[in-house]
């Protein structure tokens, strides 16, 4: 049966995240048995698609590299392996495609760049060399994560549960710092990879986040108001080399205030880059 949106009181802006997922999931199920229509749909989507990656480094030659400061984020679906074990493979496929598509669209709507799609998650970056204040990139990243997590937790999951499907559980991790972009691979198969502690630690943070949570490294935390963060119970991360020990803290982020900030960010951007926002 078709997937229907369950009416929800006080729907707020969450519907703008959840509804496209539900509609996309339902339409994919409806056309999955019609090879010609599905093939046409895929070709049309590919023709409209923009290249993933940071636009400042998209045209690097093989072996070429470049750097910038930025906020990186990983947003993924927790317990996705269990879903692939229990659920119908086609349902898993279409739900994965629908959710990650909307996560990627939301990242772009908040001025971020989709660096890659990693199975059950999205790898994103906020900020570029033209940013006058990286606090703008930090706020946009956290606001995007808050918007995504809230939208999936509410309307999307209520609709899935009404259909008898296991709800999705999203989580996110992020950090800020120097990012190095390098094109690696061969002359016939290459991609721009991101190297740097901020990107790697953002991935570690995501693993420490509970469902519907955002965990950030201490460099990103330093760009956020102290009232919005709290030290994670498993912090700090300890690194030891040749007898020297260093510690790096990570924090849980309180997200409600960023839902309101998210609406302001999207209004101010309206298709413009993050660097166009001038903080007051």
CATH code where residue 77 lies = 3.30.70.1230
d(CA 257, CA 98): 27
275 assigned to some structural domain:
no
Locate 25 and state its tokens.
């999931």
Contact 149, 172 (CB under 8 A): yes
- Among 36-40, 209-213, 246-250, 274-278, name the most confident range: 246-250
202 assigned to some structural domain:
yes
The residues, ordered by sequence, that sit 6+ positions from 109 with a Cβ below 8 Å of its Cβ are 144, 266, 269
4 assigned to some structural domain:
no
142 assigned to some structural domain:
yes
1 assigned to some structural domain:
no
pLDDT at 32 over 90: no
Looking at residues 167-182, what average pLDDT do you find?
Answer: 95
Residue 126 C-beta-side C-alpha neighbours within 13 Å: 34
Q: What's the confidence (pLDDT) of residue 104?
A: 92
pLDDT class of 17 with cuts at 50, 70, 90: confident
Check residue 35 and give left, alpha or beta (phi > 0: left; psi -120 to 50: alpha). alpha
Q: What's the confidence (pLDDT) of residue 239?
A: 96
Residues 81-118: tens digit of each pLDDT: 888 888 878 878 878 888 888 899 999 999 999 999 87
CA distances (Å), 180 to each of 57, 146, 194, 196, in order? 10, 27, 6, 6
pLDDT class of 210 with cuts at 50, 70, 90: very high
Cα torsion for 114, 152, 71, 47, to the nearest 10°?
10
- Taking residue 253's Cβ as centre, other Cβ atoms within 10 Å add up to 24
d(CA 126, CA 128): 7
Phi, then psi, of 8 in degrees rounded to 5: -135, 135
For the chain, the average pLDDT equals: 84
* Lowest mean per-residue pLDDT among 123-127, 155-159, 185-189: 155-159
277 assigned to some structural domain:
no
Domain that holds residue 146: 14-270
Q: What's the confidence (pLDDT) of residue 279?
A: 67
**Number of domains, the chain:** 1
201 assigned to some structural domain:
yes
Q: What's the confidence (pLDDT) of residue 154?
A: 76
211 assigned to some structural domain:
yes
């Amino acid at each position: 049966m078709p997937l229907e949106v369950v009416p929800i009181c006080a729907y707020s802006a969450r519907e703008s995240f959840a509804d496209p997922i539900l509609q996309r999931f339902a339409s994919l199920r409806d056309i999955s048995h019609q090879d010609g229509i599905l093939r046409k749909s895929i070709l049309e989507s590919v023709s409209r698609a923009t290249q993933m990656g940071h636009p400042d480094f998209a045209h690097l030659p093989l072996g070429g590299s470049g750097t910038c400061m930025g906020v990186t984020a990983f947003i993924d679906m927790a317990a996705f392996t269990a879903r692939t074990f229990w659920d119908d493979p086609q349902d898993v496929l279409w739900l994965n495609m629908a959710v990650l598509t909307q996560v990627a669209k939301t990242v772009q709507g908040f001025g971020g760049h989709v660096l890659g799609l990693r199975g059950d998650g999205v790898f994103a970056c906020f900020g570029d060399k033209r940013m006058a204040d990286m606090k703008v990139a930090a706020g946009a990243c956290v606001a995007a994560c808050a918007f995504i997590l809230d939208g999936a937790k509410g309307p999307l999951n209520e609709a899935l549960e009404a259909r008898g499907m296991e709800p999705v559980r999203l989580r996110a991790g992020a950090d800020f710092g120097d990012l190095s972009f390098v094109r690696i691979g061969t002359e016939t198969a290459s991609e721009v990879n991101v190297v740097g502690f901020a990107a790697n630690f953002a991935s570690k943070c995501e693993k420490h986040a509970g469902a519907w949570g955002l965990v950030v490294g201490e460099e990103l935390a330093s760009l956020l108001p102290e009232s919005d963060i709290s030290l994670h119970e498993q912090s700090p991360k300890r690194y030891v080399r040749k007898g020297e020990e260093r510690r790096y803290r990570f924090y849980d982020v309180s997200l409600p205030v960023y839902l309101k900030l998210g609406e302001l960010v999207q209004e101010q951007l309206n298709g413009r880059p993050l660097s166009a926002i001038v903080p007051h």
